[in-house]
A and B are shown apart, each in its own frame.
Chain A
Amino acid sequence: MTLRRTMPIALLAAAAAVACGGGSSGHTVSGDKANAPAASGGVDLTGAGATFPYPIYSKWFADYAQETSVRINYQSIGSGGGIRQLSEGTVDFGASDAPMSDDELAKAKGPVLHFPTVIGAVAVTYNLPSLSTPIRLTSDVIADIFLGHITKWNDSRIRAANPGIALPATDVLVVHRADASGTTYIFSDYLSAVSADWAKAPGKGKELSWPVGIGAKGNEGVAGQVKQTPGAIGYVELAYAKQNNLPTALLKNASGAFVAPSIESATAAAAGIADKLPNNTDYRISIVNAPGADAYPIASFTWLLVYRNQTDATKAKKLKDFLHWYLHSGESTAASLEYAPLPEVMKTRLDARVDSLITGSTT
């Protein structure tokens, strides 16, 4: 995990201060829930970006507004839109399922800090009615299935990973996301990490040139197609798989254990990486194929994106307060919506990072 930030030298942090009619009185944290509507009619902070963490973010913002009466407006327009709006300075913070690339960072109006919020995992779901136990898949088998090299379920390599299980001679049908999505990014990040062929050919991204298979729209499209077609295999968000009781494959992780997708195994993946993080990390890190016996291999952070140099002192204060709040109060509610919380070790380090936000324009 090398730290390599290609930041523009000219740090003109003259981000357009969006005057959203927020109350001029900087409302500080005061526990009284009863007099919540004290903070004038407007919105205190605005953000935009990723759709994947939207359910938990909206819960956080609602809880936070109740506790502190600081109101945060979040628009789930997609990670790409979030990055674009942050770069243009039209929002106070962005959110993304994929870390910003060096190019994107260079286009922003100043240094951008990445704050991991929760961990998302991607489950591999399949349709093999004859199986009574979850199928076990190794990383090279998954890569070769999605590359189109393995075309039958009774392929010798699938059989080798599933001793004693009778696999049907059904054709494999690959189902992938057709719409650009963070789920695809995480999944292809994993495949690129475990397969040199995959890294060369489709590579990683929110939308790919898929070697085989059919594209379905959204988690529900992939799940629907897989459910209806015997022999189909696809990938969906963990939360979606759990809420709909889809069959999910056990995946062999970097330590050689077969792990089911779950909140705990996703957090374990982050913990496996977090221990080894250098002190100066920018948190633009991938946690796929993480070490650790319990770590689920297809997991990823989702990030809040914040400018390090804040122009508006009032907003900066509110933003910092919120960032501290999510690290402590927010994380504990993540699991209730099927998101994996950050491992404990990361929280204290991220606290320090929140404090590194600078207020006032630096030229």
Chain B
Amino acid sequence: MSGTSLSPSVLVADDGPGTVVRIHGRHIGDRIYHGAITFFALCVPILVALIAWEIAVAGWPTFRHFGLSFLTSSDWDPVKEKFGAAPAIYGTLVSSAIALVIATPLAVGVSVFLSEFAPRWMRQPVAFLVDLLAAIPSVVYGLWGIFVLLPLMRDPVMPFLRDTLHLGTTPFFTGPAYGPSMLAAGLILAIMVLPYIASVSREVLLAVPRAQREAALALGATRWEAIWRAVLPYAKSGIVGGVILGLGRALGETMAVTMLIGNRQQISASLFAPGYTMASLIANEFTEATSDAHLSALMAVGFTLLVITIIVNAIARWLVWRVGGGAASRPL
């Protein structure tokens, strides 16, 4: 795209901590290029801002009418046009938390195995199969959940947790074992976010310099110690980044969760009880919502979900920054 003559362009390297390289070119091509990529870069944030604005405007009547009780009330009654989203907010956070608690150790275990222990011939096929989990459509997970996971939950998983392990004495594993529950939704989410966390962790672990391992081993560390003390801390911030990616996926997942969570507007300490999530609430009711109040309430749920996602992500970023050693190193 250059002109006929090659005029000199100057490369100026800033000497700050980041290495920002500016290219001062007088070519028309350079300027077009510069304008184009600036435009593309701005497109995404503008799009996000516009979406947020539109949802906020549509949901505003609900926020104004119900105020804070929209976030704290458990009463969701489209017939009487009373809307409280507390169970959905609670369900979204709890199901995602369950997913991360289950998926993170599994995913890190998989990636440690693949990067440190697995024989060479095994790495690619196993990594490929784990990544393949991410390619399965969520409705397929949902159907698998209904026909395989739920019967397994009903018998033997839930009775085992409740009676054999005597976890029924805690408030978290009580009540009848019907199957559709917060626990089932958390489990399916765990499977769905696992490939995201595993994939990122594996790449990060593979990027850990050999010297890091060799140094630890040379000092007399066992293999376990080398991985636990030298390799994982080095990769920590990258792994947390993978967990954030998984969390984003878990918060917004709709179809599979709807099919397994039991869709009940209630807050219950027991993970055996059915619940609701914000995404499934919108998906379930939006198509047939005709009254303005109902539509606005669903938009308000959407806006709340957006805000919660931003907050959770901000917290997670801060965590990455913290585990990455504070100001000394920069977040991913």
B214 at the interface (CB under 8 A from A): no
Per the bound structure, the CA–CA distance linking A14 and B225 in Å amounts to 78
Which stretch from A35-43, A60-68, A73-81, A279-287 is at the chain B interface? A73-81
Task: Say whether B154 contacts A229, CB under 8 Å.
Answer: yes
A224-B178 contact given A206-B288, A207-B78, A209-B76, CB 8 Å threshold? no
Complex alpha-carbon distance, A92 and B165, angstroms: 62
B210 within 8 A of A: no
Contact for B264 among A78, A171, A215, CB less than 8 A:
A215
- B264→A77 contact, CB < 8 A: no
A131 at the B interface (CB under 8 A): no
B146 at the binding interface (Cβ < 8 Å): yes
Q: Find the B residue at minimum CB distance from A178.
A: B263
A80 adjacent to B259 (CB under 8 Å): no
Tell whether, in the assembled complex, residue A173 and residue B178 are in contact, meaning their CB atoms are under 8 Å apart: yes
Residues on B with C-beta less than 8 A from A214 are 178, 180, 262-264, 274
The answer on a CB contact under 8 Å between A180 and B287 is: yes
Task: Give the residue name and chain of the B residue nearest to A225 (CB).
Answer: B180
Given contacts A171-B176, A214-B262, contact A84 B154 (CB under 8 A): no
Q: Contact mask A191-202 → B, CB, 8 Å, 1/0?
A: 000000000001
Interface SS of A by simple majority: loop
Q: Nearest-CB distance from A51 to chain B (Å)?
A: 8
A221 within 8 A of B: yes
Q: Would you give the shortest CB distance from B153 to chain A, in whole angstroms?
A: 10
1/0 contact trace for A208-222 toward B, CB 8 Å? Answer: 111001111100010
How many A-B contacts at CB < 8 Å in the complex?
A: 97
Closest Cβ neighbor of B151 among chain A residues: A228
B289 within 8 A of A: yes
Q: Cβ of A213: which chain B residues have Cβ within 8 Å of it?
A: 264
Whether the Cβ atoms of A228 and B150 lie closer than 8 Å is yes
Are B80 and A203 within 8 A (Cβ)?
Answer: yes
Tell me if B285 and A203 are in contact (CB < 8 A). Answer: no
- List residues 92-132 of chain B with CB under 8 A from any CB of chain A: none
* Bound CA–CA A301/B142 (angstroms): 32
Interface mask (A147-178 → B, CB under 8 Å = 1, otherwise 0)? 00000000000000000000000010100001
Interface residues on A, range: 35 or more
Residues of A within 8 A of B259 (CB): 216-217, 221
**Which of chain A's residues 211-258 have a Cβ closer than 8 Å to chain B?**
213-217, 221, 224-225, 228-229
Give chain A residues whose Cβ lies under 8 Å from the Cβ of B77: 202, 208-209
Whether B91 is near chain A, meaning CB under 8 Å from some CB there, is no
Q: Chain A: which residue is nearest B284 at the CB level?
A: A179
Q: Is the CB of B287 within 8 A of A81?
A: yes
Residues of A within 8 A of B179 (CB): 225, 228-229
- Please report the C-alpha to C-alpha distance between residue A262 and residue B280 in the assembled complex, in whole angstroms: 33
Q: Does B296 belong to the interface (CB within 8 Å)? A: no
Q: Are B146 and A221 in contact (CB under 8 A)?
A: yes
Residues of chain B lying within 8 A (CB to CB) of residue A80? 287-290
Q: How far, in Å, is A250 (CB) from chain B's closest CB?
A: 26
Given contacts A178-B263, A228-B154, A203 and B258 within 8 Å (CB-CB) = no
Residues of A within 8 A of B (CB): 77-81, 83-84, 101, 103-104, 171, 173, 178-181, 202-210, 213-217, 221, 224-225, 228-229
Task: Supply 9 further A-B pairs (C-beta < 8 A) apart from A207-B284, A216-B259.
Answer: A79-B290, A179-B285, A179-B288, A180-B289, A205-B78, A210-B264, A214-B274, A224-B147, A229-B178
